[in-house]
Amino acid sequence: MAKKGGDKRLKRQLAPRFWQVNRKSPRFILNTMPGPHTRKLSYPIGVVLRDLLHVCSNIREVKRSLNKGLITVDGKMIHHPNFPVGLMDTVEIKPSNEFYRFVPSNGHPLLPIKINANEKNLKLGKIKSKVSSKKKSYQYCLHDGRTFLSEEAYNVNDTCLVELPKFGIKNHVQLKEGCSVIVTRGENAGNIGKVEGIKDGSFSLPKRVLVSIGEKTVELPIDIVMAVGTDSSLIQVSK
């Protein structure tokens, strides 16, 4: 019978370089399953619980915790250890009542930071696509794969503050001059700055954003910049 689906494990040496795991331990490690984030930009929840948060000592404990419904991601109970956890996702550890949001930090595209309980249902979602729909409404797709219909005319690359698990738009941040942004990938990952200008793309260059970070100004592709607020971030995105 033909094999269906991808591998549930991969060699540690082939894991994405940003994964904070010991690469000289056992040969294989959990792989991410198809879901809201790609492997290059996510962690399997099993690796998060065992190697990052250290709430489980092995995969058997991970599976037991997931089967008991002790772990949620964005307010939804997860039962598969290969489920991908990515940018701005919130992991809740119910026994200890702890909440972690995954954000870029210190040059790494994904690291967990502890957040307060009043933010556990809030998440920033970057608009990746916009399609006109019937009855003067638009269909939007966020960076985590969620889609929604709205009569509001947002722009691609804007950011929505959404409430989960029952989806609802709480606020909206337009990516424009003067807004606050966070860098999601690259050597500046985790840095928060102000937009000084936006340059149009060309045949050979993508659309770029001029961001002032401290005393320097950097030019970054718009794909790795995420608006987080006007004067300050709408929710906690750094330690």
Predicted pLDDT at 7: 81
Predicted pLDDT at 175: 95
As its CATH architecture, domain 122-173 has Beta Barrel (2.40)
Annotate 185-198 with three-state secondary structure: CCCCCCCEEEEEEE
Q: What is the per-residue pLDDT across 174-197, written as a single tens digit (0 to 9) for each?
A: 999 999 999 999 999 999 999 999
Predicted pLDDT at 5: 61
Q: What is the per-residue pLDDT across 56-110, written as a single tens digit (0 to 9) for each?
A: 999 999 999 999 999 999 999 999 999 999 999 999 999 899 999 999 999 999 9
- Give the span between the Cα atoms of 141 and 90, in whole angstroms: 19
pLDDT beyond 90 at 154: yes
Per-residue confidence band for 203, with pLDDT thresholds at 50, 70 and 90: confident
The CATH T-level fold of domain 9-118 is 3.10.290
Angle, alpha carbons 17-20-26 (nearest 5°): 90
Tell me the Ramachandran region of residue 29: left when phi exceeds 0, alpha when psi lies from -120 to 50, beta otherwise. Answer: beta
pLDDT beyond 70 at 2: no
How many Cβ atoms are within 10 Å of 204's Cβ, its own excluded? 5
What counts of helices (H) and strands (E) characterise the chain? 2, 19
Domain ranges of the chain: 9-118, 122-173, 180-229
Kindly report the pTM of this predicted structure: 0.92
Mean pLDDT of the chain: 92
pLDDT beyond 90 at 1: no
- Give the span between the Cα atoms of 128 and 136, in whole angstroms: 20
- Residue 44 phi/psi, 5-degree rounding, is -70, 145
Greater pLDDT, 41 or 4: 41
What class does CATH assign to 180-229? mainly beta
Same topology for domains 122-173 and 180-229, yes or no? no
pLDDT beyond 60 at 10: yes
Predicted pLDDT at 201: 83
Q: Greatest CA separation found in the chain?
A: 61
